[in-house]
Amino acid sequence: MEKVNLYHIYEREFAYKACTAVLPGCCTVTAMRREEMTESSEAVYIISAFRKREGIYAIRIMPEQTGKYHYRICLEESGEAEALTVEGKFTCTAPGDGCHGKVQMKEDGFVYADGTRFLPFGTTCYAWTHQSEELQEQTVKTLKERCFNKLRMLLFPKYMPYNEEDPAVYPFEQDEDGSWDVNRIVPAYWDNLDLRLRQLGELGIEADLILFHPYDKWGFAHLTQEASMSYVSYCIARLAAYHNVWWSLANEYEMLMDKKTEDWDAYGCLLQKEDPYRHLISIHQILQLYPKKAWMTHCSIQSGNIDLVPVWKKEYQLPVLIDECGYEGTLEYGWGNLSAFDMVDRFWWTVTRGGYCTHGETFHRGDAVLWWGKGGVLYGESEPRIRFLKELLEKLPGCGRAKVHGPHTNPNGKKGEEMTEADRHFNKLMESTPVENLMGIMAEVHKVLFTDTWQLRYYGRTCPCFTWLQLPEDGRYRIEIIDVWEMTRETVMHDAVGRTRVSLPAHPGMAVLARKEE
Amino acid sequence: MEKVNLYHIYEREFAYKACTAVLPGCCTVTAMRREEMTESSEAVYIISAFRKREGIYAIRIMPEQTGKYHYRICLEESGEAEALTVEGKFTCTAPGDGCHGKVQMKEDGFVYADGTRFLPFGTTCYAWTHQSEELQEQTVKTLKERCFNKLRMLLFPKYMPYNEEDPAVYPFEQDEDGSWDVNRIVPAYWDNLDLRLRQLGELGIEADLILFHPYDKWGFAHLTQEASMSYVSYCIARLAAYHNVWWSLANEYEMLMDKKTEDWDAYGCLLQKEDPYRHLISIHQILQLYPKKAWMTHCSIQSGNIDLVPVWKKEYQLPVLIDECGYEGTLEYGWGNLSAFDMVDRFWWTVTRGGYCTHGETFHRGDAVLWWGKGGVLYGESEPRIRFLKELLEKLPGCGRAKVHGPHTNPNGKKGEEMTEADRHFNKLMESTPVENLMGIMAEVHKVLFTDTWQLRYYGRTCPCFTWLQLPEDGRYRIEIIDVWEMTRETVMHDAVGRTRVSLPAHPGMAVLARKEE
């Protein structure tokens, strides 16, 4: 029997003639595991077949348990199509290649299917799959060498400054009137997308697939709602079997002027209903966050106002990804000219306020090959520092479940008897102040991520020459001073207990890690 | 006849015995100008006398017009005091010493009495008049050498970290039960205050006198409302005649736990009613801005959220001073550890968002002599850069009346036919977004101050390698690139018209000035 590694794709093609690109729910997948399947075996997945090329459809299955699987594709006679039944079996074996399966939301963070935690450190190459093969390969090579484990990317081509070329292939054929026929898919486009998703999966990179975006001159932003729904169904049927797929309904949803608020909800519900693997789903805004819906698995936010992360977490009761907070670069646009230090600062700031951050790079170039738009190579200085942070966090036990202070927490952190009447008064005052009005006022909101055994404090652009840590009395702590730019870690103290004074070098970009001694 | 320079103090002492420190409204001042005064001459000022030392009261007059003045002090018999009438005359002559008189609010900025515009560039030495004479003199010397033209200072002594000493003298005597008797003033305290206000006046520095503050261990924050009102009356009677006095009701009013919202209003109304010169009046908050009142002449705001300046200007219809946005230094507290660059950045940022900014310095020192608390000398690097900005602005015609974009203005600045449908859609979206939520999201909110003949754009921490200016078509402009840290100005273009591309060095701290060629 054919063997498939756990979390990898089993694909079966079959010949069929129909007029739609998707054959909804035609395939039932049952698992046999230890016993033989009987007629009464429960379906593991109900999936749709998708058109792969002229006259050929396929189903794809991502097995999530080891064991034996059986599938049955049943198609009734319909129009020019004859009735058809296709059956098959395969065995799913342990992955062996270090693949951890799909990423899922858990509490206020993420874990892979096998329980390994996932800390997102994303980057952005919106239109990389619409570039020349050479450039796409260069992007893959760069991603292999760099630290990012998530990639924000568009399915439709992108039209805006620095992205003005037509792509070589489009996802669909055009009708005579120039409108896109979502049922007549262009195999070359989707085959290339398959290749790229597979490559990303092999590199351990989650593909945050953006289904719709407004930066368009070809009409993809103006598909009818019916066509949009068909396109989303096709994406599910074809792409959901990639363990590393995430669904991002939109980049800047409010800028898609044809779409109504409920249209977005329809895509979210469709994904939630039809994606048998329930991959992560989010929607990204330019100004106004989309209201919370049951299909949302996390917030994907555009903002440089990172102090609000705890506010969004509280409001949505979901993990928060700052998927756009400006890009390292030198563009004439405010969203694309962060210094490398500020890009790094925003990662540390986001993480120590309880969120996750996404990178992008936009150095102005005459050839307009900017990483953020087209991929290629990275020129900036932030990525090694982001890697430094990522590796630091990955080695901290329980990091994906670490806590941060709420938006109204007085960061001075005095408790009980230490508190004066003025402290209590100030705390009450804070609680009655809209949190938006605390931003910037509370310059002293230190950024702190903590568990029972460690705390990581980030001092941002401030320059204290010393700091006070409030360490538990029931343990002894080792204190490290971290320079986020120089990427140095220096242990300055052992066996610290309780209120502890730590000298700092009084320049921007410092952090302190206190870990319980073993 | 005695001569007094315009805007300077005429003082007349007289012996009198009363039990209160203020003799309310006892003195009528009339002006003669060209003709002799007649009985029907209209009063210019009604003023109060104040206790100067045991058995001696005084009145002070600040003449605001040249010419002859007459005053009459009438006191009826009351308790142990006998009836008394004191009359006198003096001539007010042109100042000759460059004194411009009191600062007044005008439109959304400030002008001196003689019409010269005033651009506030303040600093902060809260408790400087409570230090040793030597240290006070050192502070005066420093102020003389530095650029600041406004000083935030407390009348009551300050108790908080780095400010833990008792002052040598207090403003009042204590009763046997330890409570302060606001009628028994301590001449040494007030005489010293007189000296310091005079010195500041000679240096062209406005004294932003903070009447109440919460950082207290002696009980001044807990005066009864009646005592507080008497104290404010005394301040008016004694200090209002200084042309360089501003009234700041509080530092962090909400932290004065004894005082109710209406108590503050009472002080404001009292000042508005009794101060014959109507000096500027503001109130400073820690978290929640005090509601607008008729006595307010400007907003005195604590915040690092400087993008909100246009919001506050719109809401209060008053000039906005960011009187506390963090201090340059190295303290363990978030409010006192800005880098020098960030201090300078906040000045540029505030100014190009339409407000004015205030400096302070808090480098940690073993001797606890920090400029912000005690004065002394400055160690930081921001002041020369603040001077550079001040001198640049002072030479720009009409600077005090320059405009900025509103909080909801799309900074890309396209107009009319240039605007695409997406631009219009985005503008509508912005207008329907609470401005608080635009902060940080709109990283591209360039900071721009402009008049009909020039525009000054500040790029903050962003790093564009070029920028587009939208210059009027009806003039030709000279373009300068300004490095706010290096303090350099380089003319890079002449005769620029309309949409103009300007190359920039792609690092933080750049500004561009476009001036109409003459």
Predicted local confidence at residue B308, as pLDDT: 87
Q: Report the distance separating Cα A268 and Cα A237, nearest Å.
A: 15
User: Residue B79: its pLDDT value, please?
Assistant: 77
Better-scored residue on pLDDT, B400 or A34: B400
Q: Residue B41: give its domain's CATH number.
A: 2.60.40.10
Whether residues B452 and B514 fall in one domain? yes
Residue A28, beta-bridge partner list = A46, A72
Residues 6+ apart with CB under 8 A from A137: none
Domain end (from A72, A93, A114)? A93
Residues A108 and A77 in one domain: no
**What is this structure's pTM?**
0.95
pLDDT tens track for B295-352 = 999 999 999 888 889 889 999 999 999 999 999 999 999 899 999 999 999 999 999 9
- Residues B337, B91: contact at Cβ < 8 Å? no
**What would the mean pLDDT of A369-377 be, rounded to a whole number?**
98
Q: Is the separation of the CB atoms in B482 and B513 below 8 Å?
A: yes
Please compute the mean of the pLDDT values over residues B38-63 and round it to a whole number. 88
Question: B177 in a domain, yes or no?
Answer: no
In a domain, B511, yes or no: yes
Give the CATH number, domain containing residue A358. 3.20.20.80
- Full domain range(s) for residue B481: 445-518
- Region A392-417 average pLDDT: 80
Residues B31 and B141 in one domain: no
Give me the residue from A304, A465, A468 closest to B441, CB to CB.
A304
Cα dihedral B165, B170, B171, B176 sign: positive
A422 inside domain: no
Share of chain A above pLDDT 90, in %: 82
A466: in domain: yes
Q: What percent of chain A stands above pLDDT 70?
A: 95
pLDDT in tens, B452-487: 999 999 999 999 999 999 899 999 999 999 999 999
Residue B370 tokens, joined: 């920090």
Specify whether A283 is located in the same domain as A152: yes
Which one of A216, A306, A330 would you mutate to disrupt binding with B, by most B Cβ within 10 Å of its Cβ? A330
Q: Where does B255-339 have alpha helices with state H?
A: 261-274, 309-316
End position of a domain, from candidates A93, A127, A150: A93
Determine which of A81-85, A372-376, B95-99, B475-479 has the lowest per-residue pLDDT on average: B95-99
Residue B107, pLDDT score: 83
Q: Give the pLDDT confidence of A270-280 residue by residue, as tens digits.
A: 999 999 999 99
List pLDDT tens digits, range A319-372. Answer: 999 999 999 999 999 899 999 999 999 999 999 999 999 999 999 999 999 999
Tell me, yes or no, whether B325 and B466 share the same domain: no
| Nearest one of B102, B73, B67 to B87, comparing CA atoms | B73
Q: How far apart are CA A239 and CA B414, in angstroms?
A: 41
Model confidence over B208-254: pLDDT tens digits?
Answer: 999 999 999 999 999 999 999 999 999 999 999 999 999 999 999 99
Q: Strands B281-282 and B245-250: what pairing?
A: parallel
Chain B residues close to A364, C-beta within 8 Å? 465-466
Distance in angstroms (rounded) separating the CA atoms of residues B137 and A364: 53
Q: Which residue from A425, A444, A468 is facing B335, i.e. has the nearest CB?
A: A444
At B104, list the tokens.
């007044």
Chain A residue closest in CA terms to B308:
A437
Q: Pairing state of beta strands A206-212 and A245-250? A: parallel
Q: How confident is residue B49, by pLDDT bands cut at 50, 70 and 90? A: very high
Do B36 and B146 share a domain, yes or no?
Answer: no
Tell me the mean pLDDT in the region A465-490.
96
Mean pLDDT of B107-121: 94
The answer to whether residues B422 and B457 belong to one domain is no
pLDDT for B438 equals: 75
pLDDT computed for residue A78 by the predictor: 79
Run of H or E including B238:
helix B225-239
Residue A41 in this model has a pLDDT that exceeds 80: no
Q: What is the pLDDT of residue B381?
A: 98
Question: Both A228 and A260 in a single domain?
Answer: yes
Of A93, A125, A149, the last residue of a domain is: A93
Contact B466 A332 (CB under 8 A): yes
Task: Record the tokens describing residue A150, joined without a space.
Answer: 């998530």
Higher confidence at residue A404 or residue B363? B363
Measured between beta carbons, the chain A residues lying within 8 angstroms of B464 are 330-333, 337
How far apart are the CA of A444 and the nearest CA of chain B, in angstroms?
4
Inter-chain touch A335–B466, beta carbons under 8 Å: no
B439/A439 touch (CB, cutoff 8 Å), yes or no: yes
A129 in the same domain as A53: no
Among the partner residues B255, B425, B434, nearest to A422 by beta-carbon distance: B255
Please give the mean pLDDT across all residues of chain A: 93
Residues B273 and B162 in one domain: yes
Number of domains in chain A: 3
Question: Residue B292: pLDDT above 80?
Answer: yes
Instruction: Please report the pLDDT score of residue A414 as a whole number.
Output: 67
A143 CA: distance to closest CA in chain B (Å)? 25
In chain B, the N- to C-terminal Cα span, in Å, equals 50
Report the residue from B330, B464, B507 with minimal CB separation from A463.
Answer: B330
Nearest CA in chain B to A302: B441
Which residues, in sequence order, are bridge partners of residue B29?
B45, B71
Question: What pLDDT does A73 receive?
Answer: 97
Same domain, B437 and B449: no
Q: Could you tell me if B75 and B164 lie in one domain?
A: no
Residue A153 falls inside a structural domain: yes
- Report the range of poorest mean pLDDT among A175-179, A304-308, B249-253, B384-388: A304-308
Q: Is residue B372 part of a domain?
A: yes
pLDDT of residue B305: 85
Q: Do B429 and A338 touch (CB under 8 A)?
A: no
Q: State mean pLDDT over A227-256.
A: 98
Question: What does the pLDDT average to over A59-71?
Answer: 94
A442 pLDDT above the threshold of 60: no
The stretch B166-175 carries a mean pLDDT of: 97
pLDDT band at A410 (very low <50, low <70, confident <90, very high): low
| Domain of residue A468, CATH code | 2.60.40.3950
Confidence of residue B356 (pLDDT cuts 50, 70, 90): very high
The answer to whether position A401 is within a domain reads no
> Residue A34: pLDDT above 60?
no
Mean pLDDT of A64-87: 90
- Run of H or E including B382: helix B382-394
Q: What is the pLDDT of residue A38?
A: 55
Contact between residue B351 and residue B389 where contact means Cβ atoms under 8 Å apart: yes
Provide the ipTM. 0.94
For residue A138, the distance in angstroms to the closest alpha carbon of chain B comes to 26
Torsions phi, psi of A91, nearest 5? -110, 135
- Taking a C-beta distance cutoff of 8 angstroms, is the pair A7, A113 a contact? yes
In a domain, B25, yes or no: yes
